[in-house]
Amino acid sequence: MDFRNVYILIRKEARDSVKNWWFVLYTICFSALALLLLFLASSRSEIAGFSGFGRTAASLINLVLLFIPLIALVTGAISISNERENGTLSYLLSHPITKSEIFTGKFIGLLLSIWFSISLGFGLAGIAISIRGGGGDISKFLMTAVLSAILAASLLSVGFLISVFSKKAAKATGIAVFLWLVFIVIGDLGIMGSTVAMDLGIKQVFILALFNPTEVFKIASVLTLSPRFEVLGPVGIYAFKTFGREGLFYLLLSVMALWILIPLGYAFLSFSVLRREEL
Amino acid sequence: MHYILALIVVAGVVASTTKSVAETYTVSPTGSINSISKAIGLSKDGDTVEVEKGAYKGRIVVDKSIKLIGIDKPSIDGQGKGTVVLIKAPKCTFKGFLVIGSGESLTIEDAGIVLDSAPDSIIEDNKLEDVLFGIYLKNSRRSLIKNNVIIGKDLPLPQRGDGIRLWYSPETHILYNHTTQTRDLVMWWSGNTLIKGNKIEKGRYGLHYMYSNDNVFEDNLFIDNFVGGFLMYSSGIRFYHNIFARNQGLATGYGVGFKDLDDVVAEENLFIDNRIGLYLDNSPHLIDSWNKIEKNVIAFNDIGASFMPSIERNIIVSNSFIDNAEQIEVRGGGTLSGNKWFKENEGNFWSDYKGYDENNDGIGEIPYLAESLFESLVDRYPNLRIFIFSPVSQAIELASHAFPIFKPEPKVTDEYPMINSYIPEKFKGFKKKFSMGFLIISTLMVFIPLVLYFYLVKKTKGKVSD
Amino acid sequence: MIDIREATKNFGDFKAVDKVSFSVKAGEAFAILGPNGAGKSTLIRCILGTLDFEGEIRLNNLDIKENRKEAKALIGYVPQEPQFYDMTTIEVLNFFGSIRRVNKERIERVLHLVGLKEHVFKSTSALSGGMRQRLSFGIALLSDSPVLILDEPTSNLDAYARADLLRLIKKFKTEGKTVLFSSHRLDEVEFLADRALVMKSGKIILESTPHKLGEVLGLKSKLHIKLPQSSIKTALDVLNENGFNNISLNGNKLSIELSHKERILALRKLLLAEIPVEDFNVEEPSMESIMEEVQQNGL
């Protein structure tokens, strides 16, 4: 793999995303919402010098959970399918550049773009917090941003997997939006339904929740932001007691890493190593 | 016979005269009296023993009603065995010492200072370190424990002793002490006490009443304990202006827990950042008893107030429930309609109230209903709490609004919700900390991407010279 | 320069390219002729290495399956309908220039060659079809690679742009580049190619020089002449005398079947005999009819 080619593709993707109206709109929305939210919440974020895992943190997690998976999935899903559909991929491939270079460059370029917008949103919110005199522990805030970045990477790689197997960008987008719904609502709803109907035990609920990268992100950020884990109920306590604080954190990080590596690896293999009939 | 009688009387007079002359003995490491026990042996009731600065090894037993005064914090070292200071006589004073190194036996209750049948004693200005129990009062009523600092042994919780323990010692006053790393501040069968201005941290139960009635505690700070205050099997407890913060024990973590508690008055306390702000179990338990919980601030807890099923006869009014992840929990589901959530046209402040105040009287025009479908599901199936803060919880709320058939019965109906929160004066005026580091890092988070971005983009744009 | 041995490409049961073998020598211009769907584009994509295939293709003795990237570096490719990213002309050139590792001077030189200097800051979507094709040609020239592969380069162009581009290709051919192109137009092939092959349904059905190809395939040209009713008989006589025998009559219109080169001759004879030709046109043979002809009669 020639990293000069990868770098060229990274630059192209980064550049394209600023020209992408949807991407810019998304970044503005995310930043504005984060700002608004923290301004509203920080007005009573402290009493007598104490603040807690209040609505601010919860809303921030919620915002991340709604926005980042959507943009990451859709961006990923469009990435290759779109170029395949309008022929630019085939044209690009007639040049001395390999599919692995294209795949890698595109992934890194898009990931950087999403990371930039996450950093922008978090940064603006952080400025708002510190001006209002709230904040407190910067390391927790940074950790949440890092977790969001990891979440973005995992869903972007799921998006790439969709993209590799789609000939049409519209279809890929449709699948991405459906998966987004599955990740943030339908999947959890299914676990909740089964818990009520089949009386699932603590362990089963925990294992099922681990299959959802957004849920894993949420548990990890609660673990980061809150000194106590009981906010997640008996399942949280079980996880905490079984693995310990650090153990659990690393477990969650590894699940998220798997959510990056497996879809991405599979997408990479099918796109650039196992040759497929057509592009 | 008269002679004999007279002699006895004279002897008695002489004896009591010599007794009434209070003497002061001075102990110093280099002086003629170089041990505290020796000085106690020499002294009689009413005498004073002054102890100069120095390290005194060995346990001491005070069996006379004397004053032991430390000058410049002399230390008494139990050398890791038994109880360091044992006071067995009434009306003793023990002041100004550093007490260290008790034994570690929970069964024989090794302590820093034990008052055994020593009523009307004063324990003041001492520092206790590396002790299993701190100050232990047995049958020692009307004592005063003031301005002591107690640091427990760094042991796992099951092996720790209590910071301050009262056993059948009513009317005791515990004022302005600081305990850390101990088990409980606990009173057994000790009524009419006053606990004021203490800081109790890193213990199990910050305050623990067992069968102790008519007690008052106020202006205390209970922080980083498993439970701020666990009040059990008592009646007539009144508490004001306390802060219960960050009490976050696994499975407990109550700011204050009530267990079989009657005729409680809780006013203007702050319950903040606990797992559960206020926990009520079978309280009140007498059929004619009412608990009053008024003007408290319950903020930033995972659960504001948690109730065991069928709790009744609590008056919960003028409190401010602020941004608790779940405001009210009813374990196992159900409603709390047997309690009073408002009186005389005033209810509580609820930060999640979505109503309005048309006539500007500070009271919302529509009732506050705690009727979250997600919360009621969680109350019934606690395992589902793992999904808190996930979008699915909001989706379920939305669904229950769209299809009212799914709406649960409200846990709480507050007919007169307050529009503004009430924060007692005591808890106001804390200045927020401005963090420069936070500002700098946030600013970097905005600008680094922008700079990188322009760097990446600029190079792709070519310029063609003519 | 290009050696193809039994290249085969199946899409499911459909054989798009079926055991195709041929060679192109360095400096040669080689045409692949055939109707739509004959497999020309598929074959070209195989040579470019953007499609997997069975068999062997070598470029300058490099097996393209093993040395895909090195082989691709030898090729400048002009697709049938170039698809560019949403960038300006110069950005597109810079992008592909960076992949080809060429410097700014080369990019400027190419801009000059393809005549797009005034359009550098135009978005590619605002370029006309001819300009787009020239841009894609420019990209193909960026690294001065020895092989030019063009997939029906003129199919979407108007007459003027087409002539323009053909001249440009011819120029590079004479400068020594190996040119491989596909087309479905005989005249282009005659104009550019040293050698040509005809494909149908994935198979090579004829390999020859364009000259011979013209002879074989030219039979099918038709000259339609409109005459006054009174002159028809005279005209028929004149044509018969000169050996034009495949004549059909339809009202006052004569249709003469003749070879590609005899078109003008027939017309000239009529004019010399002072027959008042009112109107005429030449019907070029369709690719499909050529195929039929070749298959029925062989060479």
* pLDDT confidence band for A279 (50 / 70 / 90): very low
Neighbours of C45 (CB within 10 A): 25
pLDDT confidence of residue B208? 96
B463: pLDDT confidence band, cut at 50, 70 and 90? Answer: very low
Are residues C93 and B462, on separate chains, in Cβ contact within 8 Å? yes
Token pair listed for C122: 């135009």
Q: Which residues of C touch B464 (CB under 8 A)?
A: 90, 107-108, 111, 117, 120
Residues C61 and C91 occupy one common structural domain: yes
Token pair for C109: 């030189």
Q: Which of C194, C216, C238 is the last residue of a domain?
A: C216
Q: Which two tokens stand for residue B216?
A: 């008052």
User: How far, in Å, CA of B191 to CA of A171, rounded?
Assistant: 75
Same structural domain, C267 and C198: no
Is there a domain that residue B270 lies in?
no
Q: Give the SS3 label for residue A52.
A: coil
Contact call for A278 and C99, based on CB within 8 A:
no
pLDDT of residue B293: 96
C41: CB partners within 8 A, 6+ apart: C80, C151, C152, C182
Q: For B242, which DSSP code?
A: -
Tell me, what's the ipTM? 0.87
pLDDT of res. C233:
82
Asked if A279's CB is within 8 angstroms of C96's CB, the reply is no
pLDDT, one tens digit per residue, over C238-277 is 888 887 777 888 777 888 877 766 767 777 888 888 888 8
Residue of A nearest to B252 (CA): A230
Cα separations in angstroms, C85 against A88, B327, C113:
7, 54, 22
Name the pLDDT band for C66 (thresholds 50, 70, 90). Answer: confident
Higher pLDDT, C84 or C211: C84
Q: Token match 């213990």: residue?
A: B203
In a domain, residue A55? The reply is yes
Contacts of A247 (CB under 8 A, 6+ apart): none
Q: Determine the residue among C50, C70, C101 to mutate to test chain A binding: the one whose Cβ has the most chain A Cβ atoms within 10 Å.
A: C50
A195:B383 CB<8 A: yes
The answer on pLDDT for B153 being more than 90 is yes
Pick from C159, C124, C122, C153: nearest CA to C140: C153
Residue of C nearest to B465 (CA): C108
Euclidean distance between CA atoms B186 and B207, whole angstroms: 6
Q: By the CB < 8 Å criterion, does C109 face chain B?
A: no
Mean pLDDT over A121-135 rounds to 78
User: How far is Cα B446 from Cα A34, in angstroms, rounded to an integer?
Assistant: 13
Q: How far apart are the first and last CA of chain B?
A: 142
Asked whether residue B352 carries a pLDDT value surpassing 50, the answer given is: yes
Tokens at C261, concatenated: 């080169």
B445, B454, B458: best to mutate for the A interface, most A CBs within 10 A: B445
* C104: chain B residues, CB-CB within 8 Å: 462
What is the per-residue pLDDT for C8? 87
Structural domain count, chain C: 2
Token pair for B20:
């009434």
Residue A125 lies in a domain: yes
Nearest-Cα distance to chain B for C35, in Å, is 41
Interface test with C, best of A94, A271, A276 (most C CBs within 10 A): A94
What is the pLDDT averaged over residues A52-80?
84
Distance CA B385, CA B252 (A): 16
pLDDT above 90: residue B264: yes
Q: What is the pLDDT of residue C283?
A: 72
Helix (H) or strand (E) holding B436: helix B436-460
Average per-residue pLDDT for chain B: 89
Supply the pLDDT for residue A52. 62
A245 Cβ under 8 Å from any chain B Cβ: no
Residues C149 and C16 in one domain: yes
Say whether pLDDT at B6 is over 60: no
Which pLDDT score, from 0 to 100, does residue B193 have?
A: 96
Instruction: Give chain B positions within 8 Å (CB) of A55.
Output: 323, 325, 351
Decide: B284 and B313 in contact? Cβ < 8 Å: yes
Q: Spell out which residues of chain A touch residue C133, defining contact as CB-CB under 8 Å.
A: none
User: Is the CB of C108 less than 8 angstroms away from the CB of B462?
Assistant: no
Residues B270, B247: Cα–Cα separation, whole Å = 12
Q: Residue C210's closest CA among C226, C198, C223?
A: C198
Task: Please give the Cα distance from B315 to B440 (Å, whole number).
Answer: 48
pLDDT for the residue numbered B460:
47
The per-residue pLDDT of chain C, averaged, comes to 83
Pairing of strands B85-87, B60-62: parallel
A116 bridge partner residues? none
Residue A33 banded pLDDT, cuts 50, 70, 90: confident
Smallest CA–CA distance, residue B300 to chain A, in Å, is 5
For residue B174, give both structure tokens. 């515990």
CA C69 to chain centre: 26
Write down the mean pLDDT value for chain A: 87
pLDDT in tens, A145-191: 999 999 999 999 999 999 999 989 999 999 999 999 999 999 999 99
pLDDT of residue C215: 66
Task: Tell the residue number behind the tokens 């600081």, with chain if given.
Answer: B178
- Give chain C's radius of gyration (CA, Å): 23
Look at residues B202, B89, B109, B217 and name the one whose alpha carbon lies nearest to residue B150: B202
What burial class does residue C223 get, using C-beta atoms within 10 Å of its C-beta: 0-12 exposed, 13-18 middle, 19+ buried?
buried
Provide the pLDDT for residue B266: 97
Please report the residues numbered 4 through 23 in chain A whose beta carbons come closer than 8 angstroms to any beta carbon of chain B.
10-12, 14-15, 18
Q: Is pLDDT above 60 for B269?
A: yes
Residue B88 lies in a domain: yes
State pLDDT tens for residues B77-106.
999 999 999 999 999 999 999 999 999 999
| DSSP state for residue A237 in the 8-state scheme | H
C123 touches B at CB < 8 Å: no
Percentage of chain B beyond pLDDT 70 is: 93
Closest chain A CA to residue C70: A96
Question: Is C80 a residue whose pLDDT tops 80?
Answer: yes
C161/C230 same-domain check: no
Is B399 near chain A, with CB under 8 Å? Answer: no
Asked if the bond preceding B284 is cis, omega within 30° of 0, the reply is yes
Contact: A97, C98; criterion CB under 8 Å: no
- Flag whether residue C14 sits within 8 Å of chain A, measured between CB atoms: no
Q: Is residue B357 part of a domain?
A: no
Answer whether B251 sits within 8 Å of A237, measured CB to CB: yes
List the chains bordering chain A where 3 or more Cβ pairs fall under 8 Å.
B, C
Q: What local confidence, expressed as pLDDT, does residue B466 receive? A: 35
Confidence of residue B162 (pLDDT cuts 50, 70, 90): very high
Rounded to whole angstroms, the Cα distance separating A232 from B101 reads 41
Rg from Cα positions in chain A: 20
Nearest CB to B430 within list A46, A53, A112: A46
Neighbours of A178 (CB within 10 A): 13
Q: Domain for residue A278, yes or no?
A: no
Residue B104 near residue B155, CB atoms below 8 Å? yes
Question: Given pLDDT bands bounded at 50, 70 and 90, which one contains residue B464?
Answer: very low
Find the residue in B nearest to A132 (Cα).
Answer: B434
Q: What are B394-440's pLDDT values in tens digits? A: 888 888 888 877 778 889 999 999 999 999 988 886 666 677 888 88
Q: Return the C-alpha torsion angle B65, B71, B75, B76, nearest 10.
A: -20
Q: Of the candidates C216, C244, C267, which is a domain's last residue? A: C216
Higher per-residue confidence, B226 vs C209: B226
Amino acid in the structure at residue C143: S
CB B353 within 8 A of CB B417: yes
pLDDT of residue C223: 80
Domain residues for the domain of B172 are 24-183
Answer whether B76's CB lies under 8 Å from B82's CB. no
CB pairs under 8 A between B and C: 18
* C76 Cα to chain A: minimum distance (Å): 8
Contact in structure between A87 and A170 (CB atoms under 8 Å): no
Chain C CB contacts of A95 under 8 Å are 72, 77, 96, 99-100
Q: Residues A129-150: what's their mean pLDDT?
A: 81
More confident residue, B88 or C287: B88
For the ranges A222-231, B4-13, B240-249, C150-159, the maximum mean pLDDT occurs at: B240-249
CA-nearest residue to C90 within chain B is: B462
Beta carbons of B166 and B187 less than 8 angstroms apart: yes
Say whether residue C94 is in contact with chain B using an 8 A CB cutoff: yes
Distance of CA B302 to the CA centre of its chain: 19
CA distances from residue C84 to A163, B16, C78 in whole angstroms, order as listed? 20, 116, 12
Number of Cβ atoms within 10 Å of the Cβ of C262: 19
Q: How many domains does chain A have?
A: 1
State whether C111 and B461 contact (CB < 8 Å).
no
Residues C128 and C274 both lie in one domain: no
What DSSP designation does B265 have? E
Does residue A279 lie in a domain region?
Answer: no
Give yes or no: residues C123 and C15 share one domain. Answer: yes
Average pLDDT over residues B318-340: 90
Q: Which of B70-74, C26-30, C292-296 has the largest mean confidence?
A: B70-74
Full residue range of the structural domain in which residue A238 is found: 3-273
Angle, vertex CA B312, rays to CA B311 and CA B313, nearest 5 = 145
User: The domain that contains B118 carries what CATH number?
Assistant: 2.160.20.10
CA atoms of A6 and A3, how far apart (whole Å): 5
Identify which of C82, C86, C101 has the shortest CB distance to residue A91: C82
Q: How, if at all, do strands C279-283 and C221-226 pair? A: antiparallel
Q: What is the DSSP letter of C123?
A: B
Pairing of strands C195-200, C203-208: antiparallel
Residues C40 and C58 in one domain: yes
Report pLDDT for B465.
Answer: 37
**In a shared domain, residues C22 and C167:** yes
Q: What is d(CA A159, CA A170) in angstroms, rounded to the nearest whole number?
A: 13
Q: What pLDDT is stored for residue B461 in this prediction?
A: 47
- Given a contact cutoff of 8 angstroms between Cβ atoms, the answer to whether A204 and A235 are in contact is no
Task: Tell me the residue range of the domain where C229 lies.
Answer: 219-297
Whether B318 is in a domain gets the answer no
Statement to judge: residues C102 and C166 lie in one domain: yes
Tell me the C-alpha to C-alpha distance, in Å, between residue B230 and each of B12, B218, B225.
53, 15, 11
3-state class of A116 per DSSP? helix
C12-15: long-range contacts (C-beta < 8 A, 24 or more apart)?
C15/C201, C15/C202
Measured in angstroms, the CA of A137 and the nearest CA of chain B are apart by: 8
Three-class secondary structure of residue A148 per DSSP: helix
Question: pLDDT by residue (tens digit) across B115-133?
Answer: 999 999 999 999 999 999 9
Of B166-180, B272-286, B419-433, C131-145, the range with the lowest mean pLDDT is B419-433
Query: How many structural domains compose chain B?
Result: 1
Q: Which chains touch B (3 or more CB pairs under 8 A)?
A: A, C
Question: Phi and psi at residue C273, in whole multiples of 5°?
Answer: -80, 10
On whether both C39 and C144 belong to a single domain, the answer is yes
* A contacts of C72 (beta carbons < 8 Å): 94-97
Computed over its alpha carbons, how large is the radius of gyration of chain B?
A: 30
* Residue C23 phi, psi (nearest 5): -135, 145
Q: CA-nearest residue of chain B to C93?
A: B462
Residue-wise pLDDT tens digits, B229-241:
999 999 999 999 9
Reference A159, options A78, A254, A257; nearest CA is: A78
φ, ψ for residue A231, nearest 5 deg: -60, -20
Structure confidence at residue B251 (pLDDT): 79
**Band of pLDDT at residue C145, cut at 50, 70 and 90:** confident
Q: Among A21-35, A190-204, C234-248, whose mean pLDDT is lowest?
A: C234-248
Higher-pLDDT residue of A23 and B164 is: B164
Pairing of strands C2-11, C54-59: antiparallel
Domain membership of residue A161 (yes or no) is: yes
Whether A137 is in a domain gets the answer: yes
